[in-house]
Amino acid sequence: MKIDVLLGLQWGDEGKGKIVDVLTPKYDIIARFQGGPNAGHTLEFNNIKHVLHTIPSGIFREDKINIIGNGVVIDPVILKHEIDEAVKIGANLKENLYISRKAQLIMPTHRLLDKAYEEYKGANKIGSTLKGIGPAYTDKTARLALKIGDIFKDNFLEKYNCTKSHHEKIFAGYNFNETNEEYEKEWFAALEFIKSYKFIDSEKFVNDALKAKKTILAEGAQGSLLDVDFGSYPFVTSSNTTTSGVCTGLGVSPHKVGEVYGIVKAYCTRVGSGPFPTELSDETGQALRDKGFEYGATTGRPRRCGWLDMVALNYSIMLNGVTKIIITKADVLSGFDTIKVAVGYKMNGEIIDYVPYDMNDDLEPVYEELPGWKTDISDCKKTSDLPIELLNYLKYITVKTGVKVKYLSVGPDRTQTIKIK
């Protein structure tokens, strides 16, 4: 068997959590391969709205295995809270949650480092979620990181103190005096709590499962334009959010990658700093924010909103090898007279149709306009219920990307999903 991949093709918050939950019945295993509690994946079903940060979004479907892969960074305080909340609404985590021993721990001092670095950057700050993601991944490559499997070793505390004292040297250099001793206490308590969950060597587990013909969906976090190599650097996260991250974040070979589902919001949003060529700072942007309830699932920050960017989308499709597109939040576009799509950027007086070396350069979007639709589509159940203008918008996306739109999401609930025929 091959492992299917589902990831966001924009700047995150495309609706990955909802779609993973919808597709989970087709799979035996759902596995997160990168990121950590900077992610906020929202699921809605039976009038329950639930946000996951570290736990894969297949957790509310009975008897499905959910793996936190080796590429993920875990804050045990946040994970414990997530477990408690998911248990309350009936998830069987003791049975269905599997944690890779090689997943890395976010230490309390990583959160402080995130803050220290952002304060130091001042106006140039990334707009990080301040969950310690960047500093944790930095320590991974600096070979100072603690893996969650280390918590069962006798020298865990020694290792912890060694890395912590390294962080303290950095704090001194930055004149940063904040501490979080209370959080540290909670952190150790949460680790004790998590010890009773299932730990696995996930690379072997995943490959054995594929051999045994189990079906697996890898769930991405963030979006391709936040990828540490290919995103709008330096305004990115610190992991590979693209398909390549599946290979390192779960230990599967590129030959084993099957379908790649690219999740695309029908317009664009971004939370935090960094370039966003199609951003609308006017009443249309505000209308998208209000209608789409565009506020961060992790931090509550208002999301910046703008039109769909075909140039950036095609770049993401190229990087990921996307085989199927899934469009979300089409219902939010209902009511607009026209819908704009950027098909090029004007840069230094020239029009280009590719993402340039530095997205931070001055890029003025070149738009094409399509007729909008006026009807409410949130109750539509099948392709033939959809307005012709929306079907034309989907066709337009397929023509411009060369990739088929397989599903359309018309509302946040798991039932509000249409298979496009």
Question: What is the phi-psi region of residue 175: left when phi exceeds 0, alpha when psi lies from -120 to 50, beta otherwise?
Answer: left
126 lines the binding site for ligand IMO (CB under 6 A): yes
DSSP letters for 80-112: HHHHHHHHHTT--HHHHEEEETTPEEPPHHHHH
The listed partner (ligand GDP, ligand IMO, Mg ion, none) that binds 306, CB under 5 to 8 Å by sort, is none
What are the φ/ψ torsions at residue 8 (nearest 5 degrees)? -85, 140
| Nearer to ligand IMO among residue 209 and residue 297 (C-beta) | 297
347 Cβ contact list (under 8 Å, min separation 6): 356, 361, 362, 363, 364
Contact 366, 404 (CB under 8 A): no
Positions 314 through 353 that interact with ligand GDP (CB under 6 A): 328-329, 331-332
Number of residues that bind ligand GDP (CB under 6 A): 22
Q: Which residue shows structure tokens 């499997």? A: 149
Q: Which two tokens stand for residue 48?
A: 């329950």
| Nearer to ligand IMO among residue 33 and residue 205 (C-beta) | 33
Contact 106, 74 (CB under 8 A): yes
Instruction: Give the separation between CA 235 and CA 222, rounded to whole angstroms.
Output: 12
| Nearer to Mg ion among residue 112 and residue 268 (C-beta) | 268
Positions 167 through 186 that interact with ligand GDP (CB under 6 A): none
Q: Which two tokens stand for residue 245?
A: 């991250």
Q: Which two tokens stand for residue 218?
A: 């890898």
Positions 211 through 240 that interact with ligand GDP (CB under 6 A): none
Among 297, 313, 326, 394, binds Mg ion (CB under 5 A): 297
Contact 113, 163 (CB under 8 A): no
Positions 1 through 20 that interact with ligand GDP (CB under 6 A): 8, 12-18
The listed partner (Mg ion, ligand IMO, ligand GDP, none) that binds 331, CB under 5 to 8 Å by sort, is ligand GDP
Does the annotation mark 41 as catalytic? yes
The listed partner (ligand IMO, ligand GDP, Mg ion, none) that binds 53, CB under 5 to 8 Å by sort, is none
Q: Which residue shows structure tokens 């969906």? A: 217
Choosing from 4, 41, 53, 227, which is the catalytic residue? 41
Instruction: Give the separation between CA 107 and CA 150, rounded to whole angstroms.
Output: 13
The listed partner (ligand GDP, Mg ion, ligand IMO, none) that binds 82, CB under 5 to 8 Å by sort, is none
Contact 271, 292 (CB under 8 A): no
The listed partner (Mg ion, ligand IMO, ligand GDP, none) that binds 271, CB under 5 to 8 Å by sort, is ligand IMO
Among 92, 127, 159, 400, binds ligand IMO (CB under 6 A): 127
Residue nearest to ligand IMO (CB): 272
Contact 355, 336 (CB under 8 A): no
18 lines the binding site for ligand IMO (CB under 6 A): no
Instruction: Considering only the stretches 7-15, 19-27, 261-269, 314-322, report the one whose residues sit in contact with Mg ion under the rule CB under 5 A.
Output: 7-15
Among 35, 40, 132, 262, binds ligand GDP (CB under 6 A): 40
DSSP letters for 286-353: HHHHHHTT-B-TTT-PBPEEE-EEHHHHHHHHHHHT--EEEEE-GGGGTT-SEEEEEEEEEETTEEES
Question: At residue 379, what is the residue type?
Answer: D
409 lines the binding site for ligand IMO (CB under 6 A): no
- How are the residues of the chain apportioned to helix, strand and coil, as percentages rounded to the nearest 5? 35, 25, 40
Positions 62 through 121 that interact with ligand IMO (CB under 6 A): none
13 lines the binding site for Mg ion (CB under 5 A): yes
CA triplet 3, 271, 41: central angle to 5 degrees? 40
**Helices and strands (DSSP H and E) totals, the chain:** 12, 20
Instruction: Considering only the stretches 35-43, 61-69, 109-117, 275-283, report the one whose residues sit in contact with ligand GDP under the rule CB under 6 A.
Output: 35-43
Instruction: Considering only the stretches 131-139, 279-287, 366-374, 399-407, report the one whose residues sit in contact with ligand IMO under the rule CB under 6 A.
Output: 131-139
In DSSP terms, 350 is beta-bridged to 347
Q: With b meaning 16 or more CB within 10 Å and e meaning fewer, what string describes 349-364?
A: eeeeeebeeebeeebe
303 lines the binding site for ligand GDP (CB under 6 A): no
The listed partner (ligand GDP, Mg ion, ligand IMO, none) that binds 128, CB under 5 to 8 Å by sort, is ligand IMO
Among 24, 66, 163, 222, binds ligand IMO (CB under 6 A): 222
What residues make contact with ligand GDP under the rule CB under 6 A?
8, 12-18, 40-42, 44, 292, 297, 328-329, 331-332, 409-412
Return the active site residues.
13, 41
Contact set with ligand IMO (CB under 6 A): 8, 11-13, 38-41, 126-129, 131, 133-134, 221-223, 226, 237, 271-272, 297
User: Which residues contact Mg ion by CB under 5 A?
Assistant: 13, 40, 297
